[in-house]
A and B are shown apart, each in its own frame.
Chain A
Amino acid sequence: GAGVSQTPSNKVTEKGKYVELRCDPISGHTALYWYRQSLGQGPEFLIYFQGTGAADDSGLPNDRFFAVRPEGSVSTLKIQRTERGDSAVYLCASSPLGRNSGANVLTFGAGSRLTVL
């Protein structure tokens, strides 16, 4: 597509529930990133995929968070046993360059706003 598409745009869930957030990157972009943005803060890195593999997952806060990108395109961020502190906007970005290339220009989606009640 023309841009990075994220669904759902808004998700309200109850504490303890499981949620999945989906990201469709720009066609042909090999790199995909998940960031989390809390109110009034800058985006914080969660995980980075190069192709199908997670090249860097050091930003995932704990083992309740997991992300996959099975075919090297669409990615799903999965959150188990959600907590109120998980409430945030989850941003996905993609870029066309590989890990060891020059500066990567990231294109962000509009985000998925997660509210845990």
Chain B
Amino acid sequence: GENVEQHPSTLSVQEGDSAVIKCTYSDSASNYFPWYKQELGKGPQLIIDIRSNVGEKKDQRIAVTLNKTAKHFSLHITETQPEDSAVYFCAAILTGGGNKLTFGTGTQLKVEL
């Protein structure tokens, strides 16, 4: 089955700096890679996703890049703000072959003033 590894487990940045979270996946057939943000006491919320036919996707301060050859994808947050502080999870799935999202272990992001 799919295995997703995520790094770092914790990340502390100063407000206004950029944050980068990296994930690798094992199943080369996986073709959809969402990123979720989870705040304390809440469920994960989708913030951005990318499909395997695209190398990069951007939405305001958030961007995701995908390297299919190396089987890794990254989340980039620019101009970080205190409200970006949360746990971020990457995930991978082969769509159409079931709907079993495999999640990474999460990154605790702390944006310091």
- Docked pose: A4 CA to B44 CA in angstroms: 12
Cβ-closest chain A residue relative to B98: A56
Is A1 part of the contact surface with B, judged by Cβ < 8 Å? no
Question: B84-97, CB under 8 A of A: which get 1 and which 0?
Answer: 00000101010110
- Docked pose: A4 CA to B34 CA in angstroms: 19
- Docked pose: A92 CA to B4 CA in angstroms: 21
User: With A42-B89, A59-B100 given, is the CB distance from A103 to B44 under 8 Å?
Assistant: no
User: With A43-B89, A44-B103, A59-B100 given, is the CB distance from A103 to B43 under 8 Å?
Assistant: no
Cβ-closest chain A residue relative to B44: A108
Identify which of residues 1-37 in chain B touch chain A, using a CB-to-CB cut-off of 8 Å.
Answer: 4, 6, 31-32, 34, 36
How many residue pairs at the A-B interface have CB separations less than 8 Å? 73
Inside 8 A of A93's CB, which chain B residues have their CB?
43
* Minimum Cβ distance to chain B for residue A17 (Å): 24
- Docked pose: A91 CA to B42 CA in angstroms: 10
- Docked pose: A42 CA to B49 CA in angstroms: 17
Question: Quick check: A42 and B43 within 8 Å, CB to CB?
Answer: no
The residues of B with any CB-CB pair to A shorter than 8 Å are 4, 6, 31-32, 34, 36, 41-46, 49, 51, 89, 91, 93, 95-96, 98-106
Inside 8 A of B4's CB, which chain A residues have their CB?
42
User: With A42-B105, A105-B49 given, is the CB distance from A55 to B43 under 8 Å?
Assistant: no
The residues of A with any CB-CB pair to B shorter than 8 Å are 4, 31, 33, 35, 40-45, 48, 55-56, 58-59, 91, 93, 95, 99-111
Inside 8 A of A109's CB, which chain B residues have their CB?
43
Question: Quick check: B104 and A42 within 8 Å, CB to CB?
Answer: yes
Question: Quick check: B44 and A91 within 8 Å, CB to CB?
Answer: yes
Name, among B101, B102, B105, the residue most crowded by chain A CB atoms within 10 Å (CB to CB). B101
Inside 8 A of A95's CB, which chain B residues have their CB?
99
Question: Quick check: B44 and A31 within 8 Å, CB to CB?
Answer: no
Question: Quick check: B103 and A100 within 8 Å, CB to CB?
Answer: no
Question: Quick check: B89 and A31 within 8 Å, CB to CB?
Answer: no
Question: Quick check: B95 and A108 within 8 Å, CB to CB?
Answer: no
Inside 8 A of A43's CB, which chain B residues have their CB?
44, 89, 101, 103
